[in-house]
Amino acid sequence: MSDLKLALLQTTLAWHDRDANLAHFDSLLEQAAGADLIILPEMFTTGFSMDSAQLAEREEGPTTQWLKAQARQLNAVVTGSVIIRAADGTYRNRLLWAQPDGQVLHYDKRHLFRMAGEHQHYTAGEQQVTFTLKGWNIRPLVCYDLRFPVWSRDGQHTDLILYTANWPGARRLHWNRLLPARAIENLCYVAAVNRVGTDGKGFAYTGDSQVLDFQGEHLLSAGEADGVFTATLSKSDLMAYRERFPAYLDADAYTLTLLT
């Protein structure tokens, strides 16, 4: 059972400036060499913006090509969310999962943050997804998804839940309480990447990117620092804990119905 090395990139984002952000991440990614999975924040090319029509890239656009090149060069999966105009013409807050072999998978954010009007500018995702990497089952989610435990639920098959976010400092307490809950209730690791700095609308972000084990204990806590942070996850430790404490065997069966 292979361990999994993560690199979390917690940093500031240039407002509505893709080229500046990609150049910034170019330098940071050099510090992430050796990781299996490199995680960038939500909307890492623009900041958390509702200007979807002006900022959206087409599928297979410049950022997708950049991610492919980085994944190939670093021999790692590189992931983060981007504003995408999908083939059906809808705008999506889309997490892109770029693999070293050139394949790019994706997850569309399900829960759109209505307090910022995100639901008026983007179309919600329709399905949960699971990606595999080195024998690990990884479920990606985006920011506001964190508040919805039913969407996150699947502790028996998920080894790592991944959140990429632009979570403002005003709700820092919620971020730091909900993440351990997701780890404990799902008996799995959780990795969460947030940004720091202030965006173009004046909202401040305090980071708190972190990695938690299956008991909600911190393996990594970045605080408010700007930089690249790494942690290694043990699959054998995870499996041993689930064998000792198989709470998933008593989980309630349910059917998930998506609301439109």
Q: Which of 68, 109, 118, 188 is catalytic?
A: 109
Alpha-carbon gap, residue 190 to 2, rounded angstroms: 17
Q: Which of 42, 57, 68, 118 is catalytic?
A: 42
**What is the sign of the dihedral through the CA atoms of 174, 195, 128 and 220?**
negative
**Active-site annotation holds for 68:** no
Question: Which residues fall within 8 angstroms of residue 63, CB to CB, at 6 or more apart?
Answer: 18, 22, 45, 57, 82, 96
**Active-site annotation holds for 42:** yes
Q: Which of 57, 68, 118, 143 is catalytic?
A: 143
Residues annotated catalytic, as ranges:
42, 109, 143
